[in-house]
Amino acid sequence: MSDLFATLKEKVSGQQIKIVFPEGLDERILTAVNRLAGEGVLKPILVGSQQEIQKKANELNLTLDGVEIFDPANYEGMDELVASFVERRKGKATEEDARKILLDENYFGTMLVHVGKAHGLVSGAAHSTADTVRPALQIIKTKEGIKKTSGVFIMVRGDEKYVFADCAINIAPDSQDLAEIAIASAETAKMFDIDPRVALLSFSTKGSAKSPETEKVADAVKLAKELEPRLTLDGEFQFDAAFVPSVAEKKAPGSILKGDANIFVFPSLEAGNIGYKIAQRLGNFEAVGPILQGLNKPVNDLSRGCNAEDVYKLALITAAQA
């Protein structure tokens, strides 16, 4: 395990943090949950039939000691969840609607987080990103001052750690979105002991090119500085001007970052997705994430191609966000 996750594990161990896993019958989930509970790192909750989950665990030679299992079909606290869901949706769902909706494992798990029965949720091993994120947006919702959730990757190589955002959620963020993503990414970085130095990226450095795209990023820089004036942040930058001190000295001599950024906010999902994959494949960086940020309580989305180790690591991250 890398130093990054060893540090996270140390932070969350013994704090009795409860993380709900809606995909209780998935082999990868069960394997990771067995390890998490066995190590005493956190307190897992599985969603599904007690009998079916126990049978699956037995087939895999896994124990479920220290693991709670909640079945939406006979959950004793369902009335509380239904009432809370109806109130949260504010006229968009009747009690009858709520009872049907909460039989869905992701909605059920998300409501457990909302009412405080769990501190966070990890799903997506067998569900699409939309199936995982939609309940969170409807129920948990975004933090005050943030309109949209976003997704970051922590890029790790040896002792190097960088944050890339948004690489997962927002296809075409506007200036306000980019400003919020920058601020949220700085908060996420602190969780990983990264002292945030934020660069908003473009194909222009400090007005070297003019277009609606570059103006969008320049406006985002102004907004972010107004919203969080104490944050070390600047832009718009080409990547080399944000990362290489000698280039920064030539292209942006007055910048506070001086070519030493560690958080990179991309102007679009297209750019962010391409950027993190280049770093991952050509630069041999480990891409940790995507980590969802901006929600009132942590919900994170696995890739359907994940393995048990990925589940374990994302659970640690989710617990650290709680």
Written as six digits, the tokens of 291 are 């980590």
- Fold identical between 3-141+295-321 and 150-287? yes
User: Which of the four pLDDT bands, split at 50, 70 and 90, describes residue 1?
Assistant: low
Rounded (5°) CA angle 8-164-7: 10
What does the chain come to in residues? 322
Dist. CA 136–CA 117, nearest whole Å: 15
Mean pLDDT (the chain, rounded): 93
The predicted-structure confidence for 70-120, as pLDDT tens digits, reads as follows 999 999 999 999 999 999 988 788 889 999 999 999 999 999 999 999 999
DSSP output for 170-226: -SS--HHHHHHHHHHHHHHHHHTT----EEEE-SSSTTSS-SHHHHHHHHHHHHHHH
User: Residue 290 has what pLDDT?
Assistant: 86
User: Residue 262 has what pLDDT?
Assistant: 98
Residue 2 has pLDDT above 90, yes or no: no
Mean pLDDT, range 139-156, rounded to an integer: 91
User: Which of the four pLDDT bands, split at 50, 70 and 90, describes residue 122?
Assistant: very high
User: Which of the four pLDDT bands, split at 50, 70 and 90, describes residue 69?
Assistant: very high
Query: Domain spans of the chain?
Result: 3-141+295-321, 150-287
Mean pLDDT, range 190-209, rounded to an integer: 94
Residue 14 has pLDDT above 90, yes or no: no
Beta-bridge mates of residue 170: none
Which three-class secondary structure state does DSSP give residue 145? coil
Mean pLDDT, range 164-188, rounded to an integer: 95
Look at the alpha carbons of 36, 55, 299, 15 in this order and tell me if their dihedral is positive or negative: negative
User: Which of the four pLDDT bands, split at 50, 70 and 90, describes residue 145?
Assistant: confident
Question: Which residue, 294, 238, 306, 307, is CA-closest to 266?
Answer: 238
Dist. CA 95–CA 93, nearest whole Å: 7
Look at the domain 3-141+295-321 and name its fold: Rossmann fold (3.40.50)
Dist. CA 191–CA 189, nearest whole Å: 5
Beta-bridge mates of residue 69: 46
Dist. CA 201–CA 239, nearest whole Å: 6
Written as six digits, the tokens of 298 are 């942590």
For domain 150-287, which CATH number applies: 3.40.50.10750, 3.40.50.150, 3.40.190.10, 3.30.450.20? 3.40.50.10750
User: Which of the four pLDDT bands, split at 50, 70 and 90, describes residue 134?
Assistant: very high
